[in-house]
């Protein structure tokens, strides 16, 4: 079993919960409310900017030129998606550049980006790299599942096509291969930290979509604490 296959096995329950989330079910059915998708696209654009920065930081720490080129290229693609796909939907839903800039980053988005930047900046290259994997891998899994279930004429077809595409799949496969090579050259202690960072990023993926679906911002100091049970992650 490869290291990334082990990551998949260890997080199987949480990843299945992500695939079954109301956000993704409704997206496939084309019934996701436009205001929910609108809010998601704005937050995801903020996220992708932070994700691209984390990829660029990881590229700077990469041990060889091939890994530098791969991660730097992925950073460029992340910004390209933000400016292309997200720009298209923002125009469709009437989100101006001024409104986007003025929209506060949600708690879920802020925490996810902060986690990625911290992992890449303060831990070993291998650990930070593995924290970046769920954004590639889970989005492709979600895209494939939704593509298989999407209703004809789905208003969100451009989003579905992006993440179910062969081009995106190629990027995911290259990331998996890089992590397997990196894990093979790492110590047992480092691989254990890689597993934890991957599991935590999977949780952040769940949290981001859950927050978007419920249109959550930041919890007010006088708000009632949520009784919702959040999915556990492997430690």
CB 45 within 8 A of CB 90: yes
CB 180 within 8 A of CB 2: yes
CA 76 to chain centre: 16
Task: Find where tokens 């992992």 sit.
Answer: 119
Task: Find where tokens 């923002």 sit.
Answer: 90
Name the active-site residue from 35, 99, 177, 205.
Answer: 205
205 belongs to the catalytic site = yes
Task: Find where tokens 């397997």 sit.
Answer: 180
| Residue 101: its H or E element | helix 97-102
CB 198 within 8 A of CB 134: yes
User: What is the CA angle 88-92-93, rounded to 5?
Assistant: 120
| Residue 164: its H or E element | helix 157-164
Phi, psi of 219 (to 5 degrees): -65, 125
| Residue 176: its H or E element | helix 166-184
Which of 25, 33, 28, 44 is CA-nearest to residue 214?
Answer: 33
DSSP-derived secondary structure letter, 42: H
Q: Which two tokens stand for residue 15?
A: 């990843």
Active site residues per annotation: 205
């Amino acid at each position: 079993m490869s290291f990334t296959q082990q990551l998949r096995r260890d997080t199987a329950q949480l990843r299945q919960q992500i695939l079954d989330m109301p956000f993704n079910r409704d997206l496939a059915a084309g019934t996701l409310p436009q205001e929910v998708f609108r809010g998601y696209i704005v937050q995801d654009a903020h996220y992708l900017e932070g994700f691209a920065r984390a990829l660029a930081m990881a590229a700077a720490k990469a041990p060889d030129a091939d890994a530098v080129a791969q991660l730097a290229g992925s950073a460029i693609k992340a910004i390209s998606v933000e400016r292309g796909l997200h720009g298209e939907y923002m125009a469709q839903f009437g989100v101006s550049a001024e409104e986007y800039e003025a929209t506060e980053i949600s708690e879920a988005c802020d925490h996810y980006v902060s986690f990625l930047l911290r992992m890449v900046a303060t831990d070993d290259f291998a650990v930070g790299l593995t924290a970046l994997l769920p954004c590639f891998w889970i989005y492709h899994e979600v895209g494939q599942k939704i593509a298989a279930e999407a209703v004809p004429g789905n208003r969100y077809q451009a989003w579905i096509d992006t993440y179910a595409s062969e081009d995106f799949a190629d990027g995911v496969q290259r990331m998996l291969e890089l992590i397997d090579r990196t894990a093979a050259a790492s110590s047992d202690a480092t691989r254990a930290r890689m597993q934890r960072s991957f599991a935590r990023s999977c949780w952040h993926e769940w949290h981001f979509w859950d927050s978007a679906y419920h249109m959550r911002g930041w919890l007010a100091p006088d708000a009632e604490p949520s009784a919702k049970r959040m999915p556990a992650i492997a430690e």
